[in-house]
Structure 1
């Protein structure tokens, strides 16, 4: 039996002025328009690449904003609706209290997406919630078959048991699991990323129930200044282990690919055989330039045959290798961003460079 309906979703949760958090990959004030536009460009590219491959899926953007900011002359909401994306207004109910953790506050909004699909996803339906800095290079067909078999699809990051993930390693997390009554038979559970959250039928309800249990526990631990789940990813891993969900069955379809300029780079030929690329470093680089092609409906992006699309996208994201042309434009952009950050520190709040 094929799935009756497939949702493909991402979220955009904007930090309010005075309630900013730290997002190391971007490095700008998270309430600023420039910061938000970086993520909005990713969102447009995410949906456009999915629609090229998955035109029959139902695409959903969840946001806590009444209206999405425009990007230059591009009316963001109009563009998304034009390519077939439903925009859902969703409040941020999992917002952590002040000083809960030092970074990534808005990523807890992913838990609100889980709450939304716990109400929306019906029998023989599935939803795939992804980070917006992902691109689709193939159809969802393989992932759909996997979720039919397993009920969930997860991505195993492969982190070793001593590697600190938001201040906690896998051993630290397993101690918290045991405090919540989870028996692990002395095993150290694997760690799954939150860039892909996928479930079918009523499994989102089960996932939400365990996340809420872990969240209440964490809030109480925070009040008592004790070790807690620091991020939505920590909570998600607790829920997966509590529900005995398959851990890593999504790995043949998605990978976290680093294309850092002058730093860690794990891109390889094998990534051309995936379905989804998660590209954290490319937010300010490849996504920015591909966005300019996506908004032009006469561009090569919309004209290239589907079977050639992966090769077209690889030029923007440096997979399996950064081309000389990409190296040049990435280096120029890196200098520009560095200059912007320096000026932001020098100039008083509210003063522009053109003042």
Structure 2
């Protein structure tokens, strides 16, 4: 079976956590994330009708649950967070709790393939070809976040050299980090995940575990020893801020778009259009996504973003 999944750890008490691209109180922030969850599943169900869709979370009472279940989303709502950070990236290592759950539960079978996506992704094409790329020889596929040769380069608070040293201290193996792995996409064959799982457990239980604050650091370290299959055409991280934009000309050809700076903007509008609405055709959905995101009209996109930034500042004063 092929499963497309996302995960969200909801904080119910404000512990001072910092979430990228969202400057809201706890309640509003959680609601923004739940809207992205709905958008991901709505768009993926249209483009991937033969895949099963799964949500992993830690709460059983959350917005839009009934609507997600009507879409056919399978929900696991009793996961716990084992490795919490303080402040920035507080709950991102919930990623590993999800993988542990998948491996330990009998619900997912030995030959199942599970794709984990960040909540702020949307589907605009089928992902069948992405699932076809993994097998018993290459059981893991991931997203390339960048290539870096400078060992002094800092990656989420630690230099690449420090990460290489931590890996040696924890696992007794020397690695040479070049590819930096993103956390927004991770596809794996359940039967081929045991070695990867043993390695991240060693790192999370090492004396240097407190220095490893993101799943991307750990993914990058492990992939440097046992390279993952790199997904080049399945998903693309698109930044749409006033100061930084990464919109590829062929973005319409990808299976998924990761839109981290659009949580409060385009994805909120998409939610309003799609919530409780009939499923669109693939063609109509892509037209709607382009209409809302304006990715095909960068000058207009920047004007729209500038107006929203100014409006938010005025409104929040």
TM-score scaled by length of structure 2 = 0.89
Which of 139, 145, 160 is 2:132 aligned to? 145
CA contact (8 A) 1:272 1:320 kept: no
User: Is structure 2 residue 295 aligned with structure 1 residue 319?
Assistant: yes
Which structure has the bigger radius of gyration? 1
Any idea what SS the aligned residue of 1:193 has? Answer: strand
1:67 CA drift (Å): 0.6
Match of 1:239 in 2: 222
Q: Deviations over 1:289-348 (max 9, x none)?
A: 0001111425xxx33x32453343122223243363x55554443234334554xxxxxx
Matches within 5 A, 1:63-102: 63-68=57-62, 70=63, 76-96=64-84, 100-102=85-87
Distance in 2 separating the partners of 1:54 and 1:86 = 15
Pair 1:150–1:297, CA change in 2 (3 A): same
Pair 1:19–1:8, CA change in 2 (3 A): same
Distance in 1 separating the partners of 2:57 and 2:177 = 35
Q: Deviations over 1:236-260 (max 9, x none)?
A: 2233344x13252x12211111111
Distance in 1 separating the partners of 2:299 and 2:42 = 23
Q: Deviations over 1:66-91 (max 9, x none)?
A: 311x3xxxxx1111011111111133
Match of 2:263 in 1: 283
Pair 1:82–1:59, CA change in 2 (3 A): same
1:101 CA drift (Å): 4.6
User: Is structure 2 residue 79 aligned with structure 1 residue 104?
Assistant: no
Distance in 2 separating the partners of 1:170 and 1:307 = 43
Match of 2:248 in 1: 268
Distance in 2 separating the partners of 1:168 and 1:315 = 40
Matches within 5 A, 1:290-329: 290-298=270-278, 302-303=279-280, 305-322=281-298, 324=300, 326-327=301-302, 329=304
Pair 1:268–1:241, CA change in 2 (3 A): closer
Any idea what SS the aligned residue of 1:106 has? Answer: coil
RMSD between superposed Cα atoms in Å? 2.3
CA contact (8 A) 1:113 1:129 kept: no
Distance in 2 separating the partners of 1:328 and 1:189 = 37
User: Is structure 2 residue 122 aligned with structure 1 residue 135?
Assistant: yes
CA contact (8 A) 1:118 1:203 kept: no
Which of 239, 252, 272 is 1:258 aligned to? 239
Match of 1:42 in 2: 36
Pair 1:94–1:320, CA change in 2 (3 A): farther
1:173 CA drift (Å): 1.7
Structure 1 alignment gaps of length 5 or more = 71-75, 343-355
Q: Deviations over 1:131-159 (max 9, x none)?
A: 00001111111101112362111111114
Match of 2:169 in 1: 179
Distance in 1 separating the partners of 2:109 and 2:129 = 21
Distance in 2 separating the partners of 1:12 and 1:201 = 21
Which of 6, 13, 21 is 1:10 aligned to? 6
Which sits farther off after the overlay, 192-201 or 39-48?
192-201
Which of 96, 100, 103 is 1:115 aligned to? 100
Distance in 1 separating the partners of 2:77 and 2:171 = 36
Distance in 2 separating the partners of 1:207 and 1:94 = 18
Structure 2 alignment gaps of length 5 or more = none
Match of 2:53 in 1: 59
Pair 1:23–1:161, CA change in 2 (3 A): farther
CA contact (8 A) 1:130 1:195 kept: yes
CA contact (8 A) 1:268 1:320 kept: no
Distance in 2 separating the partners of 1:313 and 1:214 = 40
**Structure ranking higher in strand proportion:** 2
